[in-house]
A and B are shown apart, each in its own frame.
Chain A
Amino acid sequence: MSLSCSDLRDAFLQDELPQGPELVRHLDACSECRELCGEGAELGRGLSALVASEQSESDSLRLEPPSLAGEHGVRALLRSRPTYARVALLIALTALITGLSFALNGRDLRDAPMARVYGVVLVYFAGFWFAARRGLLGAAEPGYQHHVRALALASLAVPIAIALLGGSMSAKDGGPAAGLGCFVYGALLALPVVAAFFWLERADRPPAGAFWLVAALSGFTANLVLELHCPSQHLVHLLLGHASVGVVVLAAALAFRAARGMRES
C-alpha cells in the first residue's frame, strides 16, 4: 500500500511515524514531505505540536449553531434557490421589464436596422447573464470575488463601446437634448433589477464586488430598454442618456457603501 502526504501528516499527528520502504518511496517522490522529514523531522514534529496545542484551545471554545429561525419568508426562499435558478429569475425580470417597456413605449422598428438591433440586444442579454452569474455565485465558489471590479468595469464599457461604434454626430439622429429623459427612464426601469439582485444575494452584508456588479446589471437593463425605446443614434445622446446609467448607479452604490461603512465605524 502506498503512503500519501495525508497519511504522513496523520502519522506525525499521532506521533507514530511510518518507516521502511513505503516512506522512502514516498519521500523520493514528494518534495513537500521531504521538507517535513528533513533535519530529524523537525518541521513535521513542530507542526504536529502546534496542531495539538491549538486543538485543545479550540475545543475549549463552546459554540452554538446559528439560529435558523429568521430563515423564513419570501426572501429566505428566494436566496436559498440554486444559483442557476436565481440567475434565471434575474434574467426573467429584465426580460419582463424590457418586454413591457417595448410593448407600452417601444420605438417604431419598421425602419430600424434590425440586424443591429438584434445584435445589440443579444450582446446586452449575454453580458447581463455573465454579470448576474458572477454576482450571484456566492461564497461557496472559490475566488468568487476575483476580478469582479474588472468585470464590472468591462461591462460598463460595453454600452459606451456600442455608442462609439454606432453613434453619429448627425443632427437627423436626434441630439443630446433628450438625454436626461432617456437617462431617467432607463434608470427607473433598472431599479427593480437592483432591488431583486440584493434580495437574491445570500450574504446579509453583500461583498464589495456585489455593488460593482449590480451597477453593471443596471447598465445592461437600462441600455436594453433604451435600445428598444429610443431611436436616437446621436453619439452624445447615447453616451449621456444611455451608457451613463450604469456608471451613475455605480457611483451611487459606492457612495452608499462608503456611507454605511463610516456610520458603522
Chain B
Amino acid sequence: MPSDEDLMAAYVAGDAHAFQELFRRYSPLLLRVLKREMSSSEQVRDLVQQTFLHLHRSRLDFELGRKLRPWIFTIALNLKREYFRRGKRRRETSLDQEGAPEPAVAPRGQERADAVRELAPALAALPEDQRQVIELHWFAGLSFPEVAQTVGASVSAVKVRAHRGYVALRRELGANESTLPGNQDARPGVRELKEP
C-alpha cells in the first residue's frame, strides 16, 4: 500500500486518483478532530471539504520528503481557527456531547461509559493549546513530534501541554493525588499494569 507521502507525490504529479485515496484516508480523522466545538455536522463537512480544497491549491508547496499528516492537520486547524475568528463565532458544545454519548464499544462496560461521560466535557473545557495537543495525539493518531510540526511548536512544549492537560483531566476524573514527575506514589497504575 502506498504511503500518504507517495500518494501526495503522485497527486502533485497529476494523479487524480491519489487525491480520492487521500480523501478516503484522511476525512474520518479530520472529522473526528474538527467536529469538536462545532454546532452542526454540516459545518464540519464544509471544513473538511475546505481543507481538501486548500490542500489542492497548496499542493505545489508540499515539500517531498516531508510528512503529510502534520501538514494536512495544520491546514485543517488553521481553517477551523479562521472559521471561529470570522464573525467571532462562539465555540459550541461538541457535537458528541449533545445528550451524553455512550461509548460504542459495549464490552468495555459501564465504568468506561462513565469515563466517557466525564471525559468529553472535561476535554472540551481544557485550554485550547492543551486540548488541541491531546486531540491531535489521540483522535488523529499523530505522534508528539508530528503534533509539534502541526501546531508549530517544539516537541518539549507540546509534551508539556499534553502533561498539563492530562493532569487536569485526571483531576476531573476524580484522581486527587498529585502526579508530579518523580513521585513514585504517583504511579500506582504502573504496578497494576505490570501485574494484571
Give residues in A with beta carbon < 8 Å to B: 4-6, 9, 15, 17-20, 23-24, 27, 31-32, 34-43, 45-59, 61, 63-66, 68, 71, 76, 79-83, 138-145, 202-203, 205, 207-208, 261, 264-265
Contact = CB atoms under 8 A, between A and B. Distances in A.
A114 B84 CA distance: 49
A203 B54 contact: yes
Contact of B19 (A37, A43, A65, A208): A65
Nearest to B52: A66
B85 A32 contact: no
Chain B interface main SS type: helix
Interface bracket on B: 35 or more
Given A43-B170, A53-B96, 10 more contacts: A6-B137, A32-B163, A38-B188, A39-B177, A40-B189, A42-B173, A48-B138, A71-B57, A140-B58, A142-B149
B54 A202 contact: yes
A58 B189 contact: no
A41 B193 contact: yes
B64 interface: no
B162 A50 contact: no
B8 interface: no
A61 B31 contact: yes
Contact of A139 (B60, B79, B113, B175): B79
Given A23-B193, A39-B188, A41-B193, A49 B54 contact: no
Interface string B173-190: 101010111000011111
Contacts of B102: 53
Contacts of B52: 65-66
B104 A53 contact: yes
Chain A interface main SS type: helix
Contacts of B134: 47
Nearest to B167: A35
B49 A56 contact: no
Contacts of B27: 63, 65
Interface in B136-152: 137-139, 141, 143-144, 149-152
A144 B134 CA distance: 21
B190 A24 contact: yes
